[in-house]
Structure 1
Amino acid sequence: MKDVYRMGIMIRDGWIESAERCPSPNHNDRPETAVPELLVIHNISLPPKRFGGGYIQQFFQNKLDQDAHPYFAGIAGLTVSAHLLIQRDGTLIQFVPFDKRAWHAGQSEYCGRTECNDFSIGIELEGADDIPYTRQQYVSLAEVTASLIRQYPELNADALTGHSDIAPGRKTDPGDAFNWNYYRELLNLEQRVQPDSADQKEIT
């Protein structure tokens, strides 16, 4: 598959070249015929509603120190991951290559299809349901989404959903604080840039 470079984002072998790599052991292969067809947006903050500290990275790598905060004792034994984390300043940290199956959705259903991990990409925003996300996060999310749509033909702008939508009653993220309209506006702007424009090129 060709690599796509757009607005500073290039995906090569399932990894964003400009993202910090923080490999998680919590992933496996997708089913043989499965490809990314859905993008699931989550939020996470550790401890809840506190940002920074590197605890999310530790959590997804099974290295969380449960003595660092009382909340951590209840989650330290979980084995979960997402493909990508977007921090409050828009920085990208990638845990799992996009062609692999990250463990982010859990028990889930989308348009009658279960096991959403099989065919989805999970992106975590550092945040909480009731705390506004930053402009930098929306910009990074839109840029990443546009690049993913160009990289994976089965993924499109109609296949964007929240964790709460595929696991209703069990999950609430990304919450009411997430502005879907603003996100889609930025994504539309990103997608207006044609593949042969000055700020995008394909690398074979």
Structure 2
Amino acid sequence: MKISNHLLFDNEGKQVSFKPTPNKGGRYTPQYLVMHYTAATTAESAISWFMTPIAQASAHLLIDRDGTVTQFAAFNIICWHAGKSQWNGLVGMNQFSIGIELVNAGRLQKSGDKWICPVDQQHVADDEVIIATHKNENTPAAWQQYSGKQLEVAIEIAALLVKTYGLKDVVGHDDISPIRKSDPGPAFPTGSFRSKVMGRKDETIGEFITAEDLNIRSGAGTAFSTLSDPLPKGTKVSLLKSEGTWSFVEVMETVHGIMDLEGWVSSKFLIKA
């Protein structure tokens, strides 16, 4: 893919579908990338919403579950995707960030024996559902998983945006508006996504497995709280950095219903994979 004149072109050199939204501001220089879910099950509903002036909402890109991409504004034009938000001293992240929406129902409700998107009332198949606890919450809930193709395309585009605009980081809507918003949610692999997009994979020390059930903590020491139940013996982790006898790792699989887990573990219980 490539970006030309702030517009996105696919791998065949064709401009992706462009639907100019009326919901936009002036020119700006983006510093961050913010990831969202649509909270609905179809691209059509998001496209219709972003094209409606009364919505007062938009994003730069929408990525469907099959990887299809729609652009709504040039990347140097402000879109209205963040609302009341702040990050690293910046207030009102619309003025500082590119917004990407992924078609995903988000948090689900149970209706009989089916999982339902509460916004459009559409059924979500059981094999697309994960039970997980949001990082800003304490109670597990059901969430629609993102598709592999969708994430693959999102990573490619996000890495291109970071390279083109020198973006400082990739964050979620639930990072910049933690009380109001829950997207992209626990089904989105934020840590590994950020690692691939920002190039952190090149900085990893290596892959290991846990030698026994192992606590993963919020800091380098037993005084810090655990982030989940212990990692089961044989869990694969990627070592990101070390501090004394402790290692900061990224868990490479879903454990205890949690995706994208990062934290500190005792180095002596890691075995080279």
Q: Judge same fold: TM > 0.5, yes or no.
A: yes
Cα distance per residue 1:42-79 (max 9 Å; x no partner): 00043xxx335x1211110008xxxxxxxxxxxxx321
Q: Which residue does 2:145 correspond to in 1?
A: 132
Q: Which residue does 2:17 correspond to in 1?
A: 20
Q: 1:176 to 1:17 in 2, by over 3 A?
A: same
Q: From the two aligned structures, give the one with the greater strand fraction.
A: 2
1:104-119 pair list within 5 angstroms: 104-119=81-96
Q: Which consecutive unaligned segments of at least 5 residues does structure 1 have?
A: 1-8, 64-76, 193-204
Which protein has greater RCO, CA pairs closer than 8 Å, 6+ apart? 1
Q: Which residue does 1:148 correspond to in 2?
A: 161
1 CA distance for matches of 2:165 and 2:192?
23
1:1-204 pair list within 5 angstroms: 9-18=1-10, 19-30=16-27, 34-46=28-40, 50-52=41-43, 54-62=44-52, 77-129=54-106, 130-153=143-166, 155-156=167-168, 159-187=169-197
2 CA distance for matches of 1:182 and 1:90?
19
Cα displacement (A) at 1:13: 1.1
Q: 1:22 to 1:85 in 2, by over 3 A?
A: same
2 CA distance for matches of 1:139 and 1:151?
19
When the two chains are superposed, the root-mean-square deviation of aligned CA atoms in Å is: 2.0
Cα displacement (A) at 1:178: 0.7
SS at match of 1:173: coil
SS at match of 1:56: helix
Q: 1:108 to 1:120 in 2, by over 3 A?
A: same
Q: Which consecutive unaligned segments of at least 5 residues does structure 2 have?
A: 11-15, 107-142, 203-273
* Sequence identity (%): 36
Cα displacement (A) at 1:162: 0.4
- Is the contact made by 1:103 and 1:117 (CA closer than 8 Å) also made in structure 2? yes
1 CA distance for matches of 2:29 and 2:38?
25
Q: 1:58 to 1:143 in 2, by over 3 A?
A: same
- Is the contact made by 2:22 and 2:51 (CA closer than 8 Å) also made in structure 1? yes
Which amino acid letter does the alignment assign opposite residue 51 of structure 2? Q
Cα distance per residue 1:88-147 (max 9 Å; x no partner): 011111001100000100110001210111110000010033111011111111111111
1 CA distance for matches of 2:178 and 2:195?
25
Cα displacement (A) at 1:189: 6.9
Q: Which residue does 1:200 correspond to in 2?
A: none
Q: 1:174 to 1:149 in 2, by over 3 A?
A: same
2 CA distance for matches of 1:23 and 1:140?
21
Larger Rg: 2
- Is the contact made by 1:85 and 1:126 (CA closer than 8 Å) also made in structure 2? yes
Q: 1:36 to 1:181 in 2, by over 3 A?
A: same
2 CA distance for matches of 1:183 and 1:167?
20
Which amino acid letter does the alignment assign opposite residue 29 of structure 2? V
- Is the contact made by 2:195 and 2:201 (CA closer than 8 Å) also made in structure 1? no
Greater Cα shift, 182-191 or 122-131? 182-191
SS at match of 1:28: strand
Cα displacement (A) at 1:191: 8.7
Q: Which residue does 1:70 correspond to in 2?
A: none
